[in-house]
Chains A and B, each alone.
Chain A
């Protein structure tokens, strides 16, 4: 790895360091032809080309200047140092429901340093309520940071850490918990917490943002306000995901943690409930319940069971995929595989011998569908019947991601194939449904 200073590498880095420059210093750059630029030295975009420096002109614009032979960089002096004056945070009312906000990554609230362009995340409760004062009107919030991870870097052991932290909060009497989370794998974490914290007596609300919190249009604040409101007041004890229902800011959908997936790379309404409706909506700050089957707030069904095995895998079948992929997992000692098959739950017929072998070795093979919507049924076609016959377990209308997470959770409790099968088909946290309903009209958006 090339040594880099504030994004500068190689010769330019040498020149800047030799000139004794700091980011934010006022500099004068004189080109060989006499052209003079004056501004403040900025850090450089990590992946940009070498050989340029970035300065911020007095009018606020950044420009890049090529540092070619004969260019002279002179330090004029230190740039203006900002003295951060945080506005007075609103008073928290201890008589309001107590809500714990646990940050695991992403920035749910931040402020911008307009000199350097740096985005500074809100770290403390005070920071958070200063930036999103509305939450102080809804709850007595306490914020803390548990992890600072991009969600794609999360592992089952992180799920355990989060579950453990929430369990502490549940036991110490909070009215609700909000987990801020990067969105990419938020639905995996949501499923994991749903199993680990099954029957939670308080709402556990995962929340994220599709637009970063440093922009005025960010969905972070509206989602966070909704999450705090749900955590504080919802009548259910469930693990849920609170995100925009559509492109508008005024409807937030509350999805069941085992029924939700991220279905768009960038849009605010990326999270959708599949094979189920959202439990509730917050429409113009008003809670609208959408499903009467939920675990009631304060119920005594709470069963804290953390722990996830990493011996489970998810394989998406595609035409021509070789069953050797299964052999690979068997050799590595995996104890269970979720197949994301085609249509009603199929893989090519040449997979059958390998599947039989795996199951004979005691490895659990479960079938979900890459159609996402609908239920698997392996009785309709011959091939399906054959696959079923060798012992593959059809997983009803369970989402592939949820099935994987559940299998990890189940394998952490038993390794007996029959027990695994039984547990996989026993509903724990709303992950299985036995009636599939027609898709409903999209709710009214405004």
Chain B
């Protein structure tokens, strides 16, 4: 696809959790382990009216749902601040320092005074109904293959609560994550290709990691992409976790937007106006489906639901995919229906008859709606209120399609496609967090940060490669798999660097390929295992065996794994006896040659994974010389 011709513009916002000891606005720790007392409470959020009297589209979207919000608080890492029962404490200075370090690394300019703001978010992900956020620095740049991508802002904000369950009537959030410091770096929307976007994200990620103060692992990094092509609104794709998805999503969105622009032209050509669409009213067609063979429809009817049809004048053929790439307006309409009406989905005439809906039923609906050949229709079966909400959303979206390609907030799917989540919020609904006084950034703090800048990852990689005598490729593998810190910890307790590095990279990769969920094993267990290796309780050759066991038996302790697998070293006396016996055996077989080689071979066969090879070889040497001396 020719992105340049389309006028593709992408901006990236990288969000990453900071590895601070305490949360951004309270003294709770940032490492939830799920061990505390759990309480659950119920809340509702209501939109605060703005002085302008306008209602924010994103806020109206949430208000319309009026869902009960249930919060689950683990008191181990949640206090009254996260519950919105106590005012926030002062801004966490440790987090400010990390953000200032990032600012310095990106050549951004720190503000003189930080003002914490409240950004209205009423989906429940923040107990307060707003997210606390502040600009720490503005400006700066990152250079990608000679192309300069300007940085707009570097902000610090509180992470939101994690959604546990969502139904049309209620939503459950876990508060443990709420308040963990997040840094957000936003680029200007100047990126013009998917490749450039992924390179930018990678480069920004490297800068953040260079601080060595960001959290690692699943869910600690999220990228938002702002995507547009010439003539469309801005699509904000929220929460992309994997780098590999970035180019796929941008490509998908570029195609989707291009398709929608094409539809707009076609609709204009057909002479359809938004007023034509808005004039349509949903028609109850439940009777037509009284004895339908569609399982979904008959289930909905038997549950007391209704079937409604909405005519879309001039839309015939425009709802289905026209380019075989999975892009179609019908899918978007269905997502609007789901998001606004809470229904399971829609049927539209471009795809019918199908799904058990017969040609006869289609014709009956068409005649009920006075459908002309150029028209399309949409069917929804569910509870009446939801159906009408859903069709209202469908109608509005269809009317919009004639004049514009609207900006939206969308979510990513694992295959690189996206889905409609909600409208984009209107102009920033932000007001000052008056509970927190502004924080002055002093010259001396900036000087201190400037003189303690961490090395870049490139510098770090080359120095580590020198220090440990490892290839820089191996070091980069550690960095890219985010296991550098773990590598340093293992080396710190006395594991040979080469072994630690290849275990953490190749070892994990191999087991992952074999289907072991090794990334879910807490590193503390891995470290405990290696501590036992250092103490001679077991041998490092058993590392993969133990890791694979732990990944399949998450509740098992390291000790239990060793017992289960029979990997504990036998008592020393027993080994010495064995060595002596084998020496006698081998020397009687081959009295004139050096027994070391065959001896080690036979010993390793017996003790592999239980006793360290080097230790065994040392022991053999000692025994042989003792016997010789005798």
Contacts and interface: CB of A to CB of B under 8 A. Distances in A.
Interface of A: 35, 37, 42, 45, 47-49, 52, 54, 57, 59-66, 82-87, 111-115, 117-118, 120, 130-131, 210-211, 214-218, 221-222, 246-250, 265-268, 445-446
Contacts of B122: 216
A216 B128 contact: yes
A86 B53 CA distance: 5
B134 interface: yes
13 contacts: A45-B434, A54-B438, A60-B428, A60-B429, A63-B113, A63-B135, A64-B115, A65-B113, A114-B430, A216-B48, A217-B129, A250-B42, A268-B85
A222 B155 CA distance: 34
A210 B87 CA distance: 10
Contacts of A218: 46
B86 A266 contact: yes
B562 to A, nearest CB: 45
A221 B66 CA distance: 15
Contact of B43 (A61, A82, A249): A249
B80 A112 contact: no
Contact of A217 (B109, B113, B128, B437): B128
A140 to B, nearest CB: 22
A64 B135 contact: no
Given A215-B128, A267-B80, A84 B52 contact: yes
Given A60-B117, A61-B115, A247 B51 contact: no
Interface of B: 39-55, 80, 83-87, 109, 111-115, 117-120, 122, 127-130, 133-135, 138-139, 152-153, 155, 427-432, 434, 437-438, 440
Given A35-B109, A59-B153, A60-B117, A211 B84 contact: yes
Contact of B52 (A35, A54, A62, A82): A82
Contacts of B40: 446
B347 to A, nearest CB: 36
B113 A47 contact: no
Contacts of B50: 111-114
A203 B497 CA distance: 77
Given A217-B127, A267-B86, A84 B51 contact: yes
Nearest to A134: B46
A222 B44 contact: yes
Contact of A117 (B52, B55, B428, B434): B434
A248 B85 contact: no
A111 B50 CA distance: 5
A33 to B, nearest CB: 9
Nearest to B435: A212
B117 A216 contact: no
A216 B112 CA distance: 30
Given A60-B117, A250-B42, A215 B51 contact: no
For the complex of A and B, list the 8 residue pairs with the smallest distance between their C-beta atoms, beginning with the closest: A216-B129, A60-B428, A64-B113, A113-B51, A60-B430, A85-B53, A66-B112, A62-B115
A248 B53 contact: no
Contacts of A246: 41
A247 B83 contact: yes
B113 A66 contact: yes
B51 A61 contact: no
A83 B87 CA distance: 32
Contacts, number: 157
B42 A446 contact: yes
Given A64-B114, A215-B129, A114 B51 contact: yes
Given A216-B46, A222-B44, A445-B41, A82 B51 contact: yes
B440 A49 contact: yes
Most chain A CB inside 10 Å of its own CB: which residue of B47, B54, B119: B54
Contacts of A118: 51
Contact of A266 (B49, B87, B440): B87
A217 B49 contact: no
A418 B269 CA distance: 97
B227 to A, nearest CB: 18
Nearest to A48: B438
A425 to B, nearest CB: 39
A111 B42 CA distance: 24
B84 A61 contact: no
A216 B52 contact: no
A64 B111 contact: yes
Contacts of B112: 52, 63-66
B117 A215 contact: no
A284 B288 CA distance: 40
Given A247-B85, A249-B42, A216 B51 contact: no
A114 B129 contact: no
B117 A61 contact: yes
B49 A131 contact: yes
Nearest to B45: A216
Given A49-B440, A64-B114, A112-B50, A215 B428 contact: no
A217 to B, nearest CB: 4
B80 A57 contact: no
Nearest to B40: A446
B84 A112 contact: no
A432 B218 CA distance: 59
Contact of A111 (B48, B120, B133, B155): B48
Contacts of A130: 49
B115 A216 contact: no
B45 A217 contact: yes
B117 A114 contact: no
A115 B51 contact: yes
A62 B128 contact: no
B24 to A, nearest CB: 16
Contacts of B87: 266
A180 to B, nearest CB: 17
B78 to A, nearest CB: 11
A120 B427 CA distance: 20
B431 A112 contact: yes
Contacts of A214: 48, 431
B51 A112 contact: yes
Nearest to B43: A249
A7 to B, nearest CB: 11
Contacts of A57: 135, 138
Given A64-B113, A66-B113, A113-B50, 6 more contacts: A45-B434, A48-B113, A60-B119, A214-B48, A265-B86, A446-B42
Contacts of B109: 35
B119 to A, nearest CB: 8
B130 A216 contact: yes
A91 B87 CA distance: 37
Contacts of A47: 437
Nearest to A214: B48
Contacts of A247: 39, 41, 83, 85
A99 to B, nearest CB: 21
A329 B115 CA distance: 47
A90 to B, nearest CB: 14
Nearest to A446: B42
A249 to B, nearest CB: 5
A65 B110 CA distance: 10
